[in-house]
A and B are shown apart, each in its own frame.
Chain A
């Protein structure tokens, strides 16, 4: 049973606009969340993370929002650039030493 779900397999956005990628989780014990980006034929690359004590974390063009009551997190990319075209995975964990759970990914295409 998928504990971390990314219900949109793909997303297309115009260059310069905002990209919003969504992720839902089922386990209320998760307290650390991450986003990874993956290009074809490469391994995932860490992008940004957030602890459950926060509801927002920002790093340049990337912002992650966490809504614990809804068990939902989202990644905002603004402005979107063609180089952002990749598959984005969200991941969740109950903390150090606990299992990691990844979503199935959302393929983002940024159209020039």
Chain B
């Protein structure tokens, strides 16, 4: 099994541009999570899906952030427009149980 796949691994963009991060969960996993990691706040859960349905997006920082899961094997996290304070590492994770999540390698986003 390839594990959770995230792309791109690194993204550098300019303020105001749209950014799309992609995630392919492990096959058969019902839950998908998007996290953001920063030095100041650590790991924060942004949103999670269960069977492709968004369940809790209370962690999404503001309306500039949106996430979709059109099918069981693909999810996107979009930031539009991006701002320098969005610079962070974004992780996608999937699981069959609620708690024991398998994380992808992350996408390091830098917004200039």
Contact = CB atoms under 8 A, between A and B. Distances in A.
A66 to B, nearest CB: 14
A85 to B, nearest CB: 19
B75 to A, nearest CB: 15
A93 B98 contact: yes
Interface residues of B, number: 24
Contact of B45 (A2, A46, A49, A99): A99
Contacts, number: 55
B100 A49 contact: yes
Most buried by A among B42, B56, B93: B42
A34 interface: yes
B101 interface: yes
Given A34-B99, A95-B98, A89 B105 contact: no
Interface size class of A (residues with CB under 8 A): 20 to 34
Contact of A46 (B33, B58, B100): B100
Nearest to B50: A97
A104 B42 contact: yes
